[in-house]
Each structure stands twice: as C-alpha cells, then as structure tokens.
Structure 1
Amino acid sequence: MASSQLLRSVVGIQKAQAAFLDKDYAEAFRHWKIVADAGNPDAQNNIGLMYWLGQGVARNDALAVNFWRKTAEAGNLDGASGLSQAYYDGRGIGKDDQLALMWARKAADNGHANGQHFLGVLYSEGRAVAKDDRRAFEWWMKAAASGLADAQYAVGTAYALGKGVGKDDAKAFSWFSKAADQGYPNAQFAVGQAYSQGWGVQHDHAQAAVWWRKASEHANAQAQAALGYAYSIGNGVTQSDADAASWWLKAANQGDVSSQLNLGVAYSKGAGVSKSKADAVSWWLKAAKQGDIQAQLLVAYAYANGEGIARDHKSAEFWWLAAAKTGNVDAEASLGMLYYRGIDGQPDYKEAAKWLLKASSHGHPGVQIYLDMMKEEGLLDTKTL
C-alpha cells in the first residue's frame, strides 16, 4: 500500500514538473495539489509558491502561508524561507519582522540559500536586527556560493557600492555576470551598465546593448529606458528613432520617468512616432507628477502657450512653482515673467520682483531687462520683498 502511494507521488511529481517546464501552470498546479494533499512537503511548498505568485491558480497569499506553515513547522527549510518572506511583506499574514527573522534564521543556519539571502536582506535593512552591512554581505556570499541568483546580484551590488565590503568594480561585474547568466533581469541591466560605463570591464557599447536587450525582454524598465536611449543616439546599435520610441513606450508604461520625458520629446519632434503636441504633453505630465523637473518646465511652457493643451496660466504657474522650489533658475525666471505679464490680466509685481531677483542672483541672463523695466516704472521695491 505504501509503495503504491509512493509510486503515485513520484508519477505525480514527474507530471507536475513536466507541465511546469512546458509553462502549463494550471496543469502543474493540479498535479502538485494531488501530491501535496497526500502529505508531500515539497509539493506543499510548491503549491504555496504557486498561490503566492498566482501561477496556474488565482493568487491567494493566505493559502500560500498555510501551506508554508505546515511544512515549516515540520522542519522543512523551503517552508521556513517562504514563511519568512510572508512575515516580511505582510502578505497573507500580519507583518512581523521578528518572526520573519526567526524563520529566515532557521533556514539560513541549516544552509538554505534562500534563507541565507533573506537573512542578509534583514541585516542590510536593519529590520529586527541592528543594521550590519558586513553581516549582510557574509550571508549573501554564502547563498551566492550556492548559485542563488538573488544573492549573486546582492553581492555584486555590495561590491559596486562598497557596502559591507571594499568597493571593487571588477568583482561587482563578476557577480553581476553570474546572476545575469541565470537570466536575472536586474543583473542583466547591471552588466549592461558596467559595459556602458567601463565599470570593472572594458567599455563596450555593443555589449551594453546586448545585455540591456536581455533585461528589456524580461520587462526591466531601466533596461528598456537605456536601450531606448542607445537607439536614439546610435550607441552600440544602429540609430533608430522608431526603436527608441518603442522601448521608451514600454518603460514609460511601467512608470519610468526618464522614458516618459523622452517619449514626450519624441512626440513633440515626430521622432520615430507621429508628431503630436497633445501626446507630448500627456507624457510630460506623467513625468512631471513624479517630480521630474525638466518635464515640469515643459508642461508649464505648454500651458503658458497653449501648445498641445488648452492655455491655462494658473496651471503654468503651478508647474513653474514646483520646479522653482527645487532652485531651478529657468523656472524662477519664467515665474517672474509670468507674474509681470499677469495671470488672467492681473499682474503681481511683488511676486514678479521676488522671482526675477531670485533668478538674477542665480545667474539667469534673461531677467535683467524685466528688472530694469520694473525699476524704471517704479515697480521694484526691494523693501517690501
């Protein structure tokens, strides 16, 4: 009877693995579930992971935690590592850094790579333990030596930043490459950056583009932005405005600010896309709302001049103020000129003088003529500013 059940489990596991490799996640889940319900801890962990990721089944964090808890409490290290992640994220269970630490340490102390990596994360962030970059690095190294891509990327980042270990671009590149070779998108982007900047490896813009493309195909927004820029200037690839706009669009739709700005510029010029001032302003607005100063300036100008959007001096004022508060001299000058000319026909000479003087003190060459006019007209009273 026992041998018959074991055989069914083995066959079920094989069918689940085959379905998973074929990316038929629903079929993989069905087979794993049968084996899991028979008490197999590996299958239970896999079911937990599929619930966690929403692979082959609707995402259900609480059920993922239930499966991981069963196995973790029975001493299974995969379950302990998964449970640690759940407590850390507060998904499917209340957020609890102390319990995240406890389960991560149980897994890590028994040589479990994911547990070691996660324990490193907790030390790096100082959650439930005193922040300790050196100990974080040591745990990441243990996991990286086991071939875990997350940990290899973490080690590469530590070497790149000199956190917990001496800064070493060559070693950073080596560890990024190990993770990148396993298809880890963030590491692929980092390898591209290294080739682009000559960090730990000889400059090679063509290789930078190769690695950015690999990461881009895994939907890494930073890589898509970088690849778009490479196409826009023909750096490591054949120059193509259309390809630049295509990659920027992918990144912009993921919220990448630089791509939203650049895509707006592409629309404003008709570079690789049909020229459209309205589309340009639409993308600049998205970037402006994320705090991009150049986008804020462009949106303000568009509102002030009615280009791609209805003329609206109050909206122009809003965006120039947002940029001016960061000390941007062009925004200061534009605000001063706007207040001098007047919003809805109502000049505000006190505000005009304030911003024009700020811009002048910051070296803007175009405001002196306005200050001179205000002085001649008796409108420049610095005592009231």
Structure 2
Amino acid sequence: MADRVSPLDLIDVDALHSEEELQFRQVVRRLVADKLRPNVADWYERGEVPVRELAKEFGAVGLLGMHLSGYGCAGASAVAYGLACLELEAADSGLRSLVSVQGSLAMYAIWRYGSEDQKQRWLPAMASGDAIGCFGLTEPDHGSDPASMKTRARRDGDDWILTGVKMWITNAPVADVAVVWARTDDGINGFLVPMNEPGVTANTIKHKLSLRASVTGEIVLDGVRLPADALLPEARGLKAPLSCLTEARYGIVWGALGAARDCLQTAIEYATTRVQFGRPIAGFQLTQAKLADAALELQKGYLLALHLGRRADAGTLRPEQVSVGKLNNVREALAIARQCRTILGANGISAEYPVMRHAANLETVLTYEGTSEIHQLVVGQQLTGLSAFAS
C-alpha cells in the first residue's frame, strides 16, 4: 500500500506559513480536540450549546476578537485568525459562528466605531468571554436588503428610543449586549443595547435543521430608551455594518474549509476500512476520483483564503475580494460535504460521523453573511462596472 498524506498535505501548504501562525493553529486544534469534538455531536442533536462556558474557554486562549489590537485582544494576524476559524469549523460551523459573531461583528463594531468609553466598558470583558455580544442587522423582512430596514431610533431629549425587530441573530438569547443598527433622521446608525434594558426581548429560534450547535434568536425592541452615549459615534451610514460583515465573511472563507477538510478526512478513513466486493472501497476508481476532486477543490480554496489573508495583513484586502472567497469556498465546501456523504453510503446520514452535520450546517453558511447570489452580483458588478441590484 502506498504512503498516504492528509488532504492539506498534498501540496504542502504548511510551508506557506510562519512558525507563529502554525503555533496559533496548534493551540486551537488542541482546544478543538479536547473540548469540542467529544461533545459537539450531542450539542447538535439536542440543539443546545453551553455558550457562556465555551466563551470562557475561547477567551482563555485569545480566540475572541483575536485579530483586534488592545483592550485584551490578542492582536493576531488575519492569517492566524483564519487558521483558527478553519480549525473551529472542522468541529462545527456553529462553534466558529460563536467566535465570528463575538469578534468580527460585535467586538469589531465597537473597536472600529465606538467611543473610548464604549471600548473600555465592553471589549476587555468580551475578549475574556465574560460578556457575550451579538449583532442586530437582519430583520424578518429584510435580509439581503439591509438598506430597507424598519427598525427606527428617534430622539427624545438627549435619549434615543429604539423600536423594531431583528431576526436570525446568533448569540442573541444569551448576549449581554447587542450592536443594533437602526434608521434615524440622519440615516443608519449603530447603537449598543444592553440586553437587560426594559423593552428588550430575546426569543430563541427553535426547530432549526441546520446550525443546531449555535444559539439563534429574535430581538424585539419595544420603545427601548437608551442614553445618548449608546450611539456608536463613528458609525455613519450603511457602510459601517457592511464593513463588519466583511470582517465576518473573511472568517467564513477559512472556516468553510475546515468543514470540508473534516468531511474529506472522514471519507478517506471510512473508504480505506470499508470493505465491499472483497476490497476497501478506497481502492475503486470511482471512489478515488471523488476523493481526488474534493482534495483539489480544498487545496484551491485554501490558497485563495491564504492569498486574501496576506492581503488583509498588508491592508490591501477589498470587500469584493472577500466576496470571491466566500462565494467560492462555501460553495465548494458544500459540494465536498455532499460528495463525501455518498462515499459513506447509508452511514453518511448517521450522527456517528460528522459529514451530514457539516453538510446541513454549510447550507446555512451558504446563505448567511450574504447569499451566494448576492456575492455573485458583487463580483459581477466588479467585472462589468454595472450594478444589478435594484435601485
């Protein structure tokens, strides 16, 4: 039998990384092996996950807001953060989502657009996992079109009064603070809303068939009164929340590869031990063709993610380039998961193996942080110079 290599060793991608980046990866990989893998299938099946306990674990190793600087954040490189997302999503997309929403959405919004007092109040506690954040942009009637949001904030003396509903908000039922985007007389602005304020209700969304190892909720704002300093002073217009989405999408570019890698590794292990017609099914040409095609797409997606990460660290990454990465890597990761499921046959639908869980999760990842169709239009606009979005 010929020597085997793991999927990402095929073209020696580790040679493209610094020792520091690989050390970051190893820390997360160990955490995943010790704390997440033994439990995630059960969390997924029950639709429950110990968010606060996990946040403390993640904070202890610097995962929360790890690519931000100061305020207790690790100040790691974009590539190191990407590797962390890959390892987390190799366990489950919902666990990577917890870290992404906390760091790339809620914490990044405060770090980039908040006042110094807001940063001091929230960021150290969020970096350690002592406080949980969420990001309220999507509404029941406005997902891909956030410019049409109905949530409003009006002045009442020096205070703000917020009214509206946000939907599909990760971490909302357990969050301490929400970054809420609302329409004002001056346009779209961001607000920090403590979740224990009168008039704030967080309802857990149940009966999900995907991303079950993640807490998702609806936020209802019923005349919530906030002081003037709840406003994020530097966040003006829709570009502010969209820039936060760009941060989160970058993590997805890497994270989806983790789910794909885990599916492929599982399929290879299964195929080399599952005997049919007197030999391991890995020895049949059709099986090897499936594995080879999946490995090729995994390598290409990894090189794309790494290229975007290097651009991010150089300060030259553009939003449409993140759209290229999100569109390609999630779409290919889902295709890999589906193909690997076929290799496992009937066992592919069993929770004993992670493949079907990853496939179900990736159906959600394909949609959130911008659907594939939205990213196709972003790329199309760059290629043609013409916007296909409705005016």
TM category, shorter? under 0.3
Higher helix share: 1
Higher strand share: 2
Greater CA radius of gyration, 1 or 2?
1
Higher relative contact order (CA 8 A, sep 6+): 2
- TM score, norm. by length of structure 2: 0.21
- TM score, norm. by length of structure 1: 0.21
